Amino acid sequence: MDEELRAWVRSARAIAVLSGAGMSAESGVPTFRDALTGLWARFDPQQLATEAAFRRQPQLVWDWYAERRAAIDNVQANAGHLAIADFQRRHPGRLTVITQNVDGLHQRAGSAGVLALHGNIAQDRWLDAPRACCQADAIAPGRPPHCPVCGNLRRPAVVWFGEMLPEAELAAAQAAAEACDLMLVVGTSGEVYPAAGLAAVAREAGARVLIVNPQASALDRVATHCLRATAASALPLLLGDD
């Protein structure tokens, strides 16, 4: 590991980590567009991961996500996730995690305050604005579950195509990007906006931007330095104490 890069970490007052699908792929989570088995091999995500598709075929979309959830349940956080969480424990308040991933692996590794811009696949929420009868402790089972009174459906708490990112998380991520003096961009192709724009926000605010990715990405152009390595191999060395 380049000692200059480790020195960047040691001297940084505030660090922001922006993680993408490549980081989860190291844990065995197939990327969203990878061909899988079952329903995920048969259907195009851009055709089913929409509100319109869920309203049209709620059971199909629910089962489609159930397969994804089951696959994620069988993987573990990798050394990169653990290194980030360990740094947060050793240096409270210095590192903010911003992720495009919905698998919850940062949280499972022990990271606190994760800004999950695209939601969390392990969680559900109401499809329509909940009425007084929509109570979390009185949900009727089914595929999908629903309110036994009004029939309001539960849906995966992820951001579907055509939906806006959660306002609070996006605002907090933008604030972290503006306030950091070092941003680590880990395992993201840099093609999905507005999340990908956070690297430019950090750089324009005066931060160093360190790309950690074995492949070239669309964000290399805003990088201070590109580290051609995987998260699991690089982050324990980069974030570890001397």
Percent of the chain at pLDDT exceeding 90:
81
- What's residue 45's pLDDT? 72
- pLDDT value at residue 31: 63
**Residue owning tokens 């259907």:** 43
The pTM of this model reads 0.92
Q: What is the mean pLDDT of residues 102-127?
A: 96
Supply the pLDDT for residue 48. Answer: 84
Residue 220 has pLDDT above 70, yes or no: yes
Q: Which residues sit opposite 208 in a β-bridge?
A: 182
Domains present along the chain, CATH in parentheses? 3-29+77-118+165-239 (3.40.50.1220), 34-74+121-158 (3.30.1600.10)
* Residue range 101-127: mean pLDDT, rounded: 96
Query: In this predicted structure, what is the pLDDT of residue 163?
Result: 94
Predicted local distance difference test score (pLDDT) of residue 47: 80
pLDDT at 191: 79
Confidence of residue 29 (pLDDT cuts 50, 70, 90): confident
What is the torsion angle, in degrees rounded to the nearest 10, for the CA atoms of residue 180, residue 185, residue 189 and residue 195? -30
Active-site residue, 118 included: yes
**Spatial contact of 21 and 32, defined as CB atoms under 8 Å apart:** yes
Q: Is cis: bond before 148, omega within 30 of 0?
A: no
**How does 195-206 read in b/e, with b if 16+ C-beta sit within 10 Å?**
bbebbbbbbeee
**165-178: pLDDT as tens digits:** 999 999 999 999 99
Please, are residues 184 and 208 in contact by the beta-carbon 8 Å criterion? no
* From 81, 91, 106, 118, active-site residue: 118
- Whole-number CA gyration radius for the chain: 19
SS3 percent helix, strand, coil of the chain, rounded to 5, is 40, 15, 45
* CB-based contact 157:125 (threshold 8 Å): yes
Work out the mean pLDDT of the chain and round it to a whole number: 92
